[in-house]
Copies of this chain bind each other. A is one copy, B any other.
Amino acid sequence: MKTSAIVAGVGMTRFGKHMDTGLKALGAQGVEAAIKDAGIVAGDIEAAYVGNAAAGLITGQESIRGEVILRGMGIGRIPVINVENACASASTALNQACAMVTAGIYDVVLALGVEKLYDPDKKKTFGAFTGAVDVEMLQAIMEGLKQNAKAGGAESASSGAGEKRSMFMDIYAMMARAHMDQYGTTAEQFAGVSAKNSFHGSMNERAQFREAMTVEEVLAAPMIAEPLTRPMCSPIGDGAAAAILVSEAKARELGIDKPVRVVSSVLRSGWDHGPDEAGTVEVCAGEAYEEAGVGPEDIDVIECHDASAPAELVSYESLGLCAKGEGGRLIDEGATKLGGRIPVNTSGGLLRKGHPIGATGIAQAVELTEQLQGRSGERQVEGAKVALAQNGGGTIGTDAAAMCVTILSR
């Protein structure tokens, strides 16, 4: 979808473990930061899209999540649309907000992504992940993972998936082993993704983890699912991220010059395509590039969905940064590191900034907006003019359930 929505302001909480801060307070902090950044007042907001994936299972707030969070902030009796697409919930909120502004239905729309995953009862947290697959088929999926683990001889994959870790890491581990088998990609290269993102995250005060790690340290960390060690897996976290999207007219009124614009936002489902058809990242990226009138070579900075280290490496290929199978080479060359040809996940990514699932898509937009505005401090990609975010959610069949690719430009 082509859009003309302008990002007037962004804001987010630090991602991490916020045991004493509830869903409402986290969400409110994100919204207040974005309102302040946009230079508007709460009463200017004409509609709100609120992305969250797991509050029903974690906090019991199954319904009207947005209304509960936004109440009492001075926002009018506006439409609040609660949207959900697993880890792509926030991108979905952003996508819809941009559509409404582009259509001229509203001039000022809030997009909020918020998630509270930590709970004193850890079973709740891990239980929430199983809600992002087809639960009627869950038994079959778990059985398949067990069989696969036995066949591959990977001990860790048979040890209580869904209890000590998200079953998604088993899926990512399979993806990693397949890439290693097919293209000769190495565990060192996957570790290189995590090391790079830890370097980026060490400069981001809103990142969950600030420690810079070497490839060796990443490899020496505890194994989660062969070949993924802990720093190759995104952590559990809490947090919120918000953006205020405005029309051209409102941007002028706010005195925004050189606005950051969401030029394209492509949301699609990953279901039901054959093994020979393009993956959903490719489909979304291809459409987004076309709508934005740019190619991979024009992108200055990327936030991609590194829920695991191999996921980032495979995204390089899916987004067209390199040919199939050459993702490892980009890591070896340092191309995606700050200072390289095309820096990826300057925020630290999901691996190090953190991944409060329903907040992630908008947190990507926060990082990219600030990059395009030249206010990323020591993480700044000099002269960044075009940026891309890729955010996927859930799994269904052999692909992500929901995928969103967004291109922003200044």
Does the CB pair B272–A62 fall under 8 Å?
Answer: no
Q: Is A77 an interface residue (CB 8 A)?
A: yes
- Contact between A394 and B64 (Cβ–Cβ < 8 Å)? yes
Which stretch of A30-38, A99-107, A301-309 is in the interface?
A99-107
Q: A56-B56, A64-B401 are in contact. Are A77 and B283 (CB under 8 A)?
A: yes
Q: How far is the CA of A95 from the CA of B83 in the complex (A)?
A: 13
Q: Mask for A105-136, Cβ within 8 A of B = 1, else 0? A: 10000000000000000000000101111111
Say yes or no: B397 contacts A71, CB within 8 Å. Answer: yes
Given the known inter-chain contacts A71-B396, A84-B84, please indicate yes or no for A269 contacting B60, CB distance below 8 A. no
Q: A24 → chain B, closest Cβ, in Å?
A: 6
A270 interface residue, CB < 8 Å from B?
Answer: yes
Do A72 and B272 form a contact, CB below 8 Å, given A65-B84, A402-B67?
Answer: yes
The CA of A54 and the CA of B57, in the complex, are separated in Å by: 10
A393 within 8 A of partner (CB): yes
- Bound-state CA distance A132–B57 (Å) is 13
**Distance, CA A402 to CA B100, complexed state (A):** 19
Are A63 and B67 closer than 8 Å at their CB atoms? no
Task: For A269, give its contact among B22, B79, B397 (CB under 8 Å).
Answer: B79
B-facing mask of A261-294, CB < 8 A → 1, else 0? 0000001111111000000100100000000000
User: Interface majority SS on A: helix, strand, loop or mixed?
Assistant: mixed
Q: Does A178 make an interface contact (CB < 8 A)?
A: no
A1 to B280, CA, bound (A): 33
A131 to B52, CA, bound (A): 14
- Pair B63/A53 contact, Cβ less than 8 Å: yes
Contacts of A53 in B (CB 8 A): 62-63
Per a CB cutoff under 8 Å, which of B1, B62, B68 touches A54? B62
B136/A78 in contact, CB under 8 A: no
Residues in B whose Cβ lies below 8 Å from that of A83: 81-84
Tell me if A229 is interfacial: C-beta within 8 Å of chain B.
no
Nearest B-chain residue to A92, judged by Cβ: B81
Once bound together, how far apart are the Cα atoms of A133 and B71, in whole Å?
Answer: 12
Whether A64 contacts B402 by the Cβ 8 Å rule is yes
Residues of chain A from 378 to 398 with CB closer than 8 A to chain B in the complex? 393-394, 396-397
* Subset of 7 A-B contacts with CB under 8 Å: A53-B62, A56-B131, A64-B394, A67-B401, A80-B402, A81-B83, A82-B85
Given contacts A71-B272, A79-B269, A82-B92, 14 further A-B contacts (CB under 8 A): A24-B136, A56-B62, A60-B131, A60-B135, A61-B136, A62-B128, A63-B86, A63-B393, A64-B396, A64-B402, A67-B85, A67-B401, A77-B268, A81-B85
Q: A residues engaging B (CB < 8 A)?
A: 1, 22-24, 53-54, 56-57, 59-65, 67-68, 70-72, 77-86, 89, 92, 95-96, 99-100, 102-105, 128, 130-136, 267-273, 280, 283, 393-394, 396-397, 401-402
